[in-house]
Amino acid sequence: MVHTGSCGDRLHRILIGYLPILTWMPKYKKSDLLYDAVSGITVALTLMPQSIAYASLAGLDPLFGLYAACFGSVMYIIFGSVRQITIGPTSVVALLTFNYVNPALPATAVILCFVSGIVELVCGLFRLGFVVEFVSMPVTGGFVSAAALLMASSQLKGLFGISFHAKNCLEMWIKFVENIEHFRIADTAMGMTCIFVLIGLKSLKCVKVNAKGMKAKSYSVLLFLLNTGSNVLVVIVSSTIAYFSIRQGQSPLVLTGTIDSGIPQFRFLFLDYENEDEKFTFLEGLSRLWPGAIVVPLVSILSTVSVAKAFSGGRVIDASQEMIALGFCNIFCSFMGSMPVAGSMSRSALNHTTGVRTTFSSIFTSILVMLSLIFLTPLLHYIPKSSLSAVLICAVTSMFRYDMAILLWKTNRRDLIPFTITFVSCLIFDVEMGLLFGICVDLLCVLYRSARPSISIEKETNSDHVKWVVRPSSGLLFPAVDFMRQRIIAEMSSSERPNKPNLIIVDCVHFDKTDFTAAQGLKSLINELKSESCQLELMNAKECVAAILESTLNVKILSMVPLQDSIKKFNFIQPDLNGIESMTFHEMKMKDICEHKA
């Protein structure tokens, strides 16, 4: 019976680990429902115009964004562990989708969504959450900043009502300058007005209410609604203007176009896809998406885990579980005809501000978007593209991490290297190449720091011999051994003959690890110093390090005694160091045991 109980407890822990809904659902209260409803509806009001804008950014029909908004967070209710996170279309993932999906073959966006989900789910099930730790904050900051600039640049043509095609950021600005003379006055006026209005409404969150009592509460609620609903307000007003312009027989604005109403049909991806020009299978569509099938899920994971950590409240986040949740979200969305989805920082922050209690708030977001799909899609036809461009530009400006660049310049300029390289590479080349360059450069910087530890050399001379104490500041791995060897040899070469050491002690007190290659490098250094009539000894190594060095070098490690005492004792012994100070760790432990028993 005891064994059965332990198995039951273990199964319960496993289920809670994979199904976080089991932790909060039994304790769910009516008050939680009210807070979740308010949060879900508030997020939906922001999400609907954003989803249309992000679909436009990806070069897709607005329905792809609306489907992502409607079904993105449904599976996260079950598998998600951070209540503030909202899953749906995001600007960065939309930009990547645009790079890999052919607008003439929009069904490939659905395939990309499905494949992203499979990759994310597999990574989560194999507990690969640690992989995100290899992408540092400077790399992420450089990537997100470049993506923000790219997205804002890509919306210039919609903002000014002109048309051109460009591959990278530089080409976008060149084409924009070349075509600026063709700008449309009405679209430009509408777009710029929307930007100024959005900036003004967003700044309302900084306004302090001086009134008291119910009046203060009413003002605070009004300011909050104007701030959080700014996107919806701008889209509604601009659409109303466009509608009445058309009613009067005028069409000065470029509009979104016709959007089909209704809920999509659930379909499996192994079915063939038909387009006006061609027919292709799932595998044929997948072959056109490489390497997006790797880059999109990687970026989605990075952004979602970053959002999860930001709202964890100091709680340890299981990145692998977030991968599983995101994977199920994308797989489910692909069956509903959606573009790829990920965690949104801005909408998650809005969720947090409105006091969300559980992930169940996403069900209210989905219901509101679903009602819009059923009843409001005919009205979405009148949304001006310039207003959507304004919404997107204002949404991505906050993503530009100039604050991180300034902080890196003040604190650690070396970390500014991967930030800058990632940022510039993303602008010059594709964003996936920029991210890859940034990760590689960042890892090279880490390897360089481990290969170049700070090394101090203390010299002591007496009538008999000269001793040097070499003290590296970090662990001795194979890249650092050659650097230490070069430093010692260079120091010896610059010393006059009477000042050359006949004994060099390497203080290993900071060595927390070593490897076989490093041990072989030490062996080469020992042989090299012998030719100079100099002996090398190791001191104060930890037991795990000493075991590797003793077995590899066939030398004795000096016992762990205070360094100054050891140096004094060297004044009374020969360089072969026979005696108590030359005991191995195993001999020293046996001696301690015997003394303890005595």
DSSP 253: S
38, 354 Cβ separation under 8 angstroms: yes
Verify that 358 and 474 share a domain, yes or no.
no
Evaluate whether residue 367 is within a structural domain: yes
Q: Look up the domain containing 115 and give its range.
A: 2-261+268-402
Q: Provide the pLDDT for residue 572.
A: 34
Question: Which of 362, 380, 402 is the endpoint of a domain?
Answer: 402
Give the dihedral sign, CA 285/149/133/516: positive
Q: What is each CA distance from 467 to 201, 497, 563, in whole angstroms? A: 72, 13, 13
Q: Provide the pLDDT for residue 465.
A: 78
Verify that 385 and 464 share a domain, yes or no.
no
Q: Does the pLDDT at position 69 exceed 80?
A: yes
Verify that 398 and 456 share a domain, yes or no.
no
Verify that 29 and 91 share a domain, yes or no.
yes
424 pLDDT band, cuts 50/70/90, is very high
Verify that 357 and 476 share a domain, yes or no.
no
377, 67 Cβ separation under 8 angstroms: no
Range 94-122 average pLDDT? 90
Model pLDDT for residues 553-577, shown as the tens digit of each residue: 776 676 544 445 544 444 433 334 3
Out of 74-83, 200-209, 422-431, which region has the weakest mean confidence (pLDDT)? 200-209
Range 264-271 average pLDDT? 72
Evaluate whether residue 427 is within a structural domain: no
For β-strands 279-280 and 273-274, DSSP reports them as: antiparallel
269 vs 184: CA distance, rounded Å: 42
Evaluate whether residue 61 is within a structural domain: yes
Q: Provide the pLDDT for residue 573.
A: 34
Q: What is each CA distance from 251 to 157, 242, 384, in whole angstroms? A: 18, 8, 11
275 pLDDT band, cuts 50/70/90, is low
Verify that 344 and 219 share a domain, yes or no.
yes
Verify that 253 and 397 share a domain, yes or no.
yes
Q: What is each CA distance from 413 to 342, 410, 416, 419, 447, in whole angstroms? A: 31, 7, 5, 10, 17
Evaluate whether residue 31 is within a structural domain: yes
Q: Provide the pLDDT for residue 574.
A: 36
Verify that 486 and 581 share a domain, yes or no.
yes
Range 229-233 average pLDDT? 89
Evaluate whether residue 507 is within a structural domain: yes
Verify that 21 and 170 share a domain, yes or no.
yes
Rounded (5°) CA angle 461-464-467? 40
Q: What is the value of pTM for the model shown?
A: 0.81
Whose tokens are 């903002």? That residue is 159
Verify that 398 and 507 share a domain, yes or no.
no
Evaluate whether residue 422 is within a structural domain: no
343 vs 302: CA distance, rounded Å: 9
Q: Provide the pLDDT for residue 48.
A: 92
Instruction: Indicate the residue type of 435.
Output: L
521, 485 Cβ separation under 8 angstroms: yes
Q: Does the pLDDT at position 93 exceed 50?
A: yes
Rounded (5°) CA angle 139-142-148? 140
Range 502-515 average pLDDT? 86
Verify that 464 and 572 share a domain, yes or no.
yes
- What share of the chain in percent tops pLDDT 70? 89
Model pLDDT for residues 453-468, shown as the tens digit of each residue: 888 888 888 767 788 9
Q: Provide the pLDDT for residue 333.
A: 95
Q: Does the pLDDT at position 1 exceed 60?
A: no
Range 210-236 average pLDDT? 83
* More confident position, 449 or 2: 449
Q: Provide the pLDDT for residue 586.
A: 41
Q: Provide the pLDDT for residue 226.
A: 87
Out of 248-257, 374-383, 438-447, 553-562, which region has the weakest mean confidence (pLDDT)? 553-562
Verify that 383 and 498 share a domain, yes or no.
no
Mean pLDDT score of the chain: 85
Q: Provide the pLDDT for residue 405.
A: 93
Question: Which of 385, 402, 419 is the endpoint of a domain?
Answer: 402
Out of 65-79, 95-109, 266-280, 382-396, which region has the weakest mean confidence (pLDDT)? 266-280
Evaluate whether residue 444 is within a structural domain: no
Q: Does the pLDDT at position 239 exceed 70?
A: yes
182, 162 Cβ separation under 8 angstroms: yes
Q: Does the pLDDT at position 6 exceed 80?
A: no
Evaluate whether residue 424 is within a structural domain: no
* More confident position, 161 or 2: 161
**30-57 helix and 213-228 helix, angle to the nearest 10 degrees:** 30
Query: What radius of gyration, in Å, describes the C-alpha atoms of the chain?
Result: 32
> What total number of domains does the chain contain?
2
Q: Which two tokens stand for residue 177?
A: 């300058």
- What share of the chain in percent tops pLDDT 90? 43
Model pLDDT for residues 192-219, shown as the tens digit of each residue: 999 999 999 988 877 777 767 677 778 8
Q: Which two tokens stand for residue 415?
A: 């970390």
Listing DSSP states for 431-498 in one string gives: HHHHHHHHHHHHHHHHHHHHHS--EEEEEEE-SS-EEEEEEESS-B-HHHHHHHHHHHHHHHHTS-GG
DSSP 559: P
Model pLDDT for residues 290-336, shown as the tens digit of each residue: 888 999 999 999 999 989 988 887 788 899 999 999 999 999 999 99
Model pLDDT for residues 136-179, shown as the tens digit of each residue: 889 999 999 999 999 999 999 999 999 888 878 888 999 999 99
CATH number of the domain bearing residue 466: 3.30.750.24
